Structures are given as C-alpha cells and as structure tokens.
Amino acid sequence: MFFNFVKRLGIFCLVLIISTTLVFFMLHSLPGEKAVVMAKYIFLGSVELNPSNEEIQLVKDKFDLDRSLISQYISWAGAALHGDLGRSYKSNDPVSQEILIRLPATITLAFVSVLMSLFIGIPLGILAAVKQNSITDYICSSTAVLGISMPNFWLALLLMLVFSLKLNLTPTIGYGGLSHLILPAVTLGTASSAVIMRLTRSSMLEVMRQDYIRAARGKGLSRKSIFITHALRNALIPVITIIGLEFGHLLGGTVIIETIFAWPGIGRLLIDSISARDIPVIQGCVLFITLMYMLLNFAIDAVYPLIDPRIGGN
C-alpha cells in the first residue's frame, strides 16, 4: 500500500513538472517579444498601443527578461513552490488571487453539472440495462448518442434562444442566483449524463454476466436485490472514474460555455488571458488545472476500496 502511494506521488510530481515545463517554454516561444506585450499593459493599459524603447527596457530590467528561459523557468518554479504564481500583466493582481476569486463560480457550476449528470445518467443506465433490447433501451441509448454528439456551443445557443429569448424564463448571461446557473449547468450536464448513462449500461450488462450473479439467482434472491446489492456496486467502479475525470475537467473551467454565458470562472479567465497573452495567468491556470486532475485521481483511488475491498488488498 505504501509502495503504491509513493509510486503515485512520483507520477504526480512528474506530470506536474512536465506539464508546467511544456507550457512555460511553449508560451515563451510564441511570436512577438514578451517585454513588449508586458509594457503595453503595464504602461499603456492597452495591447493596441506601442510602448517606447525606454518602457520596454524598464520591463526587462524589472522582470529580468534578459536572462535565459531556463533561468526564468527555475525562478518561476521556485516561486510557485512557495505559492507565488506571479502577477498578471493585465490587472497587476497576484495570479493566485485571480484564480481564487473565480474558483467559487467554477466549483458551483461543476458541482451542479456533475450532480445533474449523476441523477440522470445512472438511473437511465440501470433502466437501459434492465430493459436490454427493449424499446426503453433503444430510446435511452439513442438519447445518449444524441447528447454525446451534440456540440456544447450549439446546445448552449439553442437553450438561450428557447428559454431566454422566446420563453423569457432564464437570464441570457451573467453570474448570480439559481436562474443564472440553470442553462450553463444543463448544457454541461447533458454530455456528461450521456457518457455516464452509456457507461453504466455497459458496465451493468458486463457485471450481470458474472458467475456470482448467476449464483445469486440460484439462491433465489430477488431481482431487485441482485441489481442493487450485487451488480450495481461493482458496476459503479468505472463510472466513478468517469465522474472524477468529468469533475476535474469542469473544475479546470469550460472555456466555451463560460465564454458564451459570461460565467466568471477559471475557463473564462484562461481564454481572456490567452487573448491578452497574459503569460503568468495562463501558467497559473494550467498549474491549477493539472493539480485538480491529479488530486481527483488520488481521491478516486481512495474511493475504490470502499466499493470493492478486493482492490485495497492488492
């Protein structure tokens, strides 16, 4: 058990180092001089204006941009280990503060979307497995394929057109109460529900073919007891993996949906930073997203033994 923990911790650190290194050097290899972009925001407040040579040199001296990229990366990584992700060129606020301000909006949207996908996907998946090859199964499977195939941005625009513009039931954009949360959560939860539904169905059907299920039937257990007590518990193992990955993806921010609905989350912060070429914020967002994925993977691994004790014994 201890060996597995050390192994996963090593993988965690390796993934973190590789991802941050690649992002750092790729961002700094983009066309255009970094000092010029920084000077435009620091001295002029706009990317459309051109700074003077003196202003550009002041930026280089202040941020040590004349050093090699390797030296700059070592300095940034050392500061990041102490929680200092630098300052935004655009707002001059600490990057960690920029992320933390938008984190509640992202967590709220991610949590509600995943919760919706659970309440829809798992029951429909079980129903489709129970009613295999029936009309109910075909309807559920067809709906799932439609949900997976439908582009998020198209569904978002369609929901806005129907429920906001035509029926006037929800706000079009913005961040506020429950009414603002409905459309973006439904948009994100639709695809997740479809994925969870199909995975639950296939996992349930695979489990129902196992010997211990046949043995339970031979003992005379009720159909309900077999499905809920014996089959569902084992069928949920791959479903939990997908749920964790979906939640990690949503915590990283959904760029398209947050932009369409003007949702002030991490995804919108990332797309705004890319447009402004705000390199410290981009690096901070990527680091945060990587951490979220890795921590959720640890959490998923911890949940597995609770569902199937045999996993904890390996």
> Quick one: 12 and 106 in the same domain?
no
**Cβ atoms of residues 260 and 156 within 8 Å:** yes
> Quick one: 137 and 207 in the same domain?
yes
> Quick one: 106 and 57 in the same domain?
no
- Please give the tally of structural domains in the chain: 2
> Quick one: 77 and 161 in the same domain?
no
> Quick one: 134 and 211 in the same domain?
yes
What's the rounded Cα separation, in Å, for the pair 314 and 312? 6
What's the rounded Cα separation, in Å, for the pair 203 and 3? 30
Provide mean pLDDT across the span 142-169.
Answer: 86
Q: Name the residue type at position 222.
A: S
> Quick one: 64 and 208 in the same domain?
no
Higher pLDDT, 282 or 49: 282
pLDDT of residue 307: 65
Task: Establish if 97 belongs to a structural domain.
Answer: no
- Identify the band that residue 31 occupies on the pLDDT scale cut at 50, 70 and 90: low
- Identify the band that residue 1 occupies on the pLDDT scale cut at 50, 70 and 90: low
pLDDT of residue 7: 75
Which of 88, 117, 147 terminates a domain? The answer is 88
Provide mean pLDDT across the span 109-135.
Answer: 87
> Quick one: 145 and 267 in the same domain?
yes
pLDDT of residue 310: 59
- Identify the band that residue 241 occupies on the pLDDT scale cut at 50, 70 and 90: confident
What's the rounded Cα separation, in Å, for the pair 150 and 187? 10
Res 265 pLDDT > 80: yes
Which of 33, 66, 88 terminates a domain? The answer is 88
Task: Establish if 96 belongs to a structural domain.
Answer: no
Taking only the tens place, the pLDDT of each residue in 75-101 is 888 888 888 888 887 777 888 888 888
Task: Establish if 247 belongs to a structural domain.
Answer: yes
> Quick one: 140 and 229 in the same domain?
yes
Please state, for a pLDDT cut of 70, what percent of the chain lies above it: 88
Task: Establish if 299 belongs to a structural domain.
Answer: yes
- Identify the band that residue 255 occupies on the pLDDT scale cut at 50, 70 and 90: confident
Task: Establish if 95 belongs to a structural domain.
Answer: no
Which of 59, 88, 117 terminates a domain? The answer is 88
> Quick one: 137 and 39 in the same domain?
no
pTM of the model: 0.78
C-alpha distance from residue 69 to each of 22, 42, 64, 146, 303 (Å)? 12, 21, 10, 47, 41
What CATH number corresponds to the domain at position 276?
Answer: 1.10.3720.10
Provide mean pLDDT across the span 209-226.
Answer: 76
What's the rounded Cα separation, in Å, for the pair 90 and 37? 10
- Identify the band that residue 190 occupies on the pLDDT scale cut at 50, 70 and 90: confident
- Identify the band that residue 32 occupies on the pLDDT scale cut at 50, 70 and 90: low
Which residue segment(s) compose the domain that 141 sits in?
A: 102-306
> Quick one: 284 and 239 in the same domain?
yes
> Quick one: 156 and 112 in the same domain?
yes
Residue 38's closest CA among 69, 21, 20, 63?
Answer: 63
> Quick one: 125 and 26 in the same domain?
no
What's the rounded Cα separation, in Å, for the pair 250 and 48? 33
Burial of 250 (0-12, 13-18, 19+ CB in 10 A): buried
**Cβ atoms of residues 42 and 278 within 8 Å:** no
Which tokens belong to 175?
């961040």
Please state, for a pLDDT cut of 90, what percent of the chain lies above it: 0
